[in-house]
Amino acid sequence: MTIKLLDIRRLIAAMTMSLVVAFGAMAQADAAMSHFWTAQGYYNPASAGNLDAINLQLGSRMQWVDFRHAPMNFYITADMPYKFLEQRFGVGVKAEFERIGLYTNSRIGAQIAYKRKLGRNIMLSVGVQPGVFSQTFRADEAVTPSSAEHDVAIPERNVSGTAFDANVGVYLSAPRYWAGFSVTHVTSPSIELKESRDAIYIYEFKISRAYYLMGGGNIPINNTLFDIQPAAMFATDLKAWTAQIAAKLRYNRMFSIGAGYRYKDAVTAFIGVNLKDAYIGYAYDYPVSAISKATFGSHEVFITYNVKLDNRVKNKNKQKSVRLM
């Protein structure tokens, strides 16, 4: 019997997606953004209000585009500085939609960060993001052999549930560098998935706590119009871990190209442009693991836009962000 190459690709894809969904159901609940240095608000609520502007961010990641039901993530954040009783705060919101396998996840949260100056040009922030995590399992899209016995651990009908969720973090920023540490899903919530309020069968989805350490900087090249912006991130749920490094070369504070590497997962190529109040970036991930036999890679698009605030009252704590310098 001859097995076609397409069938082999489909088999590899199915096996890989099964492992991904199984791991995701137990542990992973955050997208692995290649633009992590720009998407700081996605991982760390303490970065809210770091600019003297209303900062709007929109990101979309389409992973392993050759797979059916491959991970797809879309999110938007908005934040701004706020002064209360002569103290500086950052406030913001975050909304996210994700499809991975037969799961659909949606998250929304409010961000607040307290900011304190350390020295002349260093700002320390402590932030929290309370919110809700909603999930749906689309049983009507599941395909099982007609002769197979039903597994009671798998819902026969669409089920959904919602739970309280929260992120916390600390963030340090200066004109030439930034660093942050955050914990997402700090309450490690359990979502009860059920067909209706009075359903007999209840399925539980456990979200593991995740820890993120990231940092970056801006290094001007003397006597040129170029600068280098390196960044790195380490993430773990205390059962598994991953790490990313990236670096951009920017010309005249406008055009940038770069490359990155996610440990044992993918190499990344970046391209972006800084306009007057906006940044538009694109990233392409090429897998270096065995999954490369079944996909040609992942795509990511990222857009930020800053709405300047009224500067007639001078802000003594004014900061510049190395993300947009």
User: Which residues have a Cβ under 8 Å from the Cβ of 46 and sit 6 or more positions away?
Assistant: 90, 113, 125, 126, 127, 168, 169, 170, 171, 180, 182
Query: Which range has the worst mean pLDDT, 74-83, 260-269, 306-315?
Result: 306-315
- Is residue 71's pLDDT more than 70? yes
Where do the structural domains in the chain lie, given as residue ranges?
A: 5-146+155-218+284-308
Query: Which range has the worst mean pLDDT, 31-40, 147-156, 162-171?
Result: 147-156
| Tokens 């706590």 -> residue | 209
Predicted confidence at residue 195, as pLDDT, reads 82
Predicted confidence at residue 91, as pLDDT, reads 96
The residue with greater pLDDT, 23 or 75, is 75
Helix (H) or strand (E) holding 135: strand 122-137
pLDDT digits (tens, 9 = 90+) for 123-153: 999 999 999 999 998 887 766 665 555 556 6
Q: What are phi and psi of 13, to 5 degrees?
A: -60, -45
- Is residue 12's pLDDT more than 60? no
Calpha distance 227→287 (Å, rounded): 28
Strand 298-308 to 53-62 pairing: antiparallel
pTM, two decimal places: 0.82
Query: Which range has the worst mean pLDDT, 36-40, 146-150, 230-234?
Result: 146-150
Predicted confidence at residue 148, as pLDDT, reads 54
User: Which residues have a Cβ under 8 Å from the Cβ of 48 and sit 6 or more positions away?
Assistant: 41, 79, 80, 90, 91, 92, 111, 112, 113, 125, 127
The residue with greater pLDDT, 129 or 291, is 129
Predicted confidence at residue 233, as pLDDT, reads 97
Measure CA of the first residue to CA of the last residue in the chain; give whole Å.
61
pLDDT digits (tens, 9 = 90+) for 168-204: 999 999 989 999 999 999 999 999 888 877 777 788 8
The residue with greater pLDDT, 115 or 52, is 115
Specify whether the CB–CB gap between 217 and 63 falls below 8 A. Answer: no
Calpha distance 206→200 (Å, rounded): 19
Query: Which range has the worst mean pLDDT, 87-96, 150-159, 228-237?
Result: 150-159
Mean pLDDT score across all residues of the chain: 83
Burial of 85 (0-12, 13-18, 19+ CB in 10 A): exposed
Predicted confidence at residue 10, as pLDDT, reads 40
